[in-house]
Amino acid sequence: MTASVGTMEMPRAGERAETTVKPVGAGLAGRVKPLIRGLSDMVALADRERKRTEVYAPFNRECIGAVPSCEAADVRVAVDRARAAQKAWAARPLRERTRVFMRYHDLVLDRLDSILDMLQVEGGKSRRHALEETLDVAINARYYAAHAAELLQPKRRQSLIPFILKAWEYHHPVGVVGIISPWNYPFTMAVSDAIPALIAGNAVVLKPADLTPFSALYGVRLLYEAGLPGDLLQVITGRGSVLGTPLIEQVDFIGFTGSTEVGRKIGEQAGRRLIKTSLELGGKNPMLVLDDADLERAVFVATQGSFAGAGQLCISYERMYVQSGIYDRFLEAFVARTKAQRLGSALDFSVDIGSLIGASQLEKTVEHVDDAQSKGAQVLAGGRSRPDIGPYFFEPTILTGVTEGMQCYREETFGPVVSIYKVDSVEEAITRANDSEFGLNAAVMCRDERKAVDVASRVRCGTVSVNETYQAPWSAMGAPMGGMKDSGLGRRHGIEGLLKYTESQNVSLSRISPLFPAPGLSVEASAAAYVAMLRLVKKIPGLR
């Protein structure tokens, strides 16, 4: 059984897509009502008499439920509960902690359809993009559960004098981790960021986006079902402007995914307390299509990488630099494939692109396209909102002739809009790709893999895909992922994604005392002996 606002027939290449609209059914919210039952009771509250904020489905503005509007006093309750639970959790053997997340991996896959329904109805995504998000959570849980022992175990480190001095590196949990997660990836950015923090022995206080709280709460419910101890993961719901500051003032680490503007404010507050922080912020991500690129593959990657999640990804491509030798063929094929994208709200895999999240995001997207057109840019595909499908749908849009001074030239649109630029050389493509204050994600399309990897390494972004979409770096769990420049600091995934939630400690042991001056030698003789030893150590490769 599926609920649908509308579907779109596949047009012929070069033909404008026309949508076949079906009436909006009242059963859309009903699909998730059984899933959200009792979720708001999980919110940490100092006083149960709180106002409640209604949550609406972007597909048709139908109210699907309500959550408490927390206040500063609720943050204190959440942090206190989490801190009390954290000590016992950190004292548990690591193998007991990781078992919870191996069970969670299986539970997420077992409840896949329910999670996809939740992400679609609450967030407006197509089912295929909701699937990407859900699988990431399972992969994340499995990776850290499998590798935490090797990453967290104490390690011997090199000391000055072999056999005389010994050193070990330890990693201890920071305590209580605060996570402020966004609406565009409400499941993975809430839960996948919490998983390594919890495995490392921390407690977590999660503040999900007020537009999509149920996806995060459902993920937390499944964590407790997998065996996570009570009170270890607290949730507070409400406005970030109300809850952000008191959360930062009380936790030992703050993680945030969202805009650069808000990220700067969070960084300033965290800096005053000298607590660790991780910030994944905005992007204006480039894609470089070189002359020898596989045309069919390049067009597929461009379409998937630009319009996934209706373009509401921090890592989606908004700028494309296409070398002149392939430009005309690429543009023709890309326009045709873009016009063939199917928009709709079916809770199945029959559509390609879902809805924007709400009115403000639609307004910004329309503003950027209208501004570009008014200043001379050309719309080759899309360019229109589609209220006939749903209130916040916008066609995937390709622009050419975008120049400095147009809003979408440097600003992040965060919608299904991409600008195409012709370049004459690889060097020009790299230079223009790097001409941005952002540096989050990029892609390079080129048949010559050695050349492509070299070009990718020169693009100043935290992740760069070669001949693939954002899925390649996103799924490379052993490698770090994050932004350069104004796109943030800190990394998720890999070693850094776990150890950032720890305090590293150096424990060193000496078998002689004092170390300097050496026993039985004068200061002068000790100095000469140490200088001679350093000269010797340099010549022994294993001791350098």
Give the residue numbers annotated as catalytic, written as ranges: 280, 314
463-466 sheet: strands from edge to edge: 378-381, 397-400, 417-423, 317-323, 285-289, 441-445, 463-466
Residues 6+ apart with CB under 8 A from 111: 222
Centroid of chain to Cα 456:
20
Q: Which residue has the tokens 């507070």?
A: 236
Give the neighbor-by-neighbor strand order of the sheet with 165-173. Answer: 155-157, 165-173, 502-510
Q: How far, CA to CA in Å, does 337 sit from each of 15, 43, 123, 307, 449?
A: 10, 44, 25, 11, 25
Structure tokens at 207: 């503040």
Measure the CA angle with vertex 69, ends 65 and 72; round to 5°. 155
Kindly report the CA angle at 461 between 131 and 333, in degrees rounded to 5? Answer: 60
Closest by Cα among 217, 198, 195, 218 to 208: 217
Of 504, 522, 480, which Cα lies nearest the Cα of 200? 504
CB within 8 A of 520, min separation 6: which ones? none
Scan for tokens 């059963």, then name that residue: 27
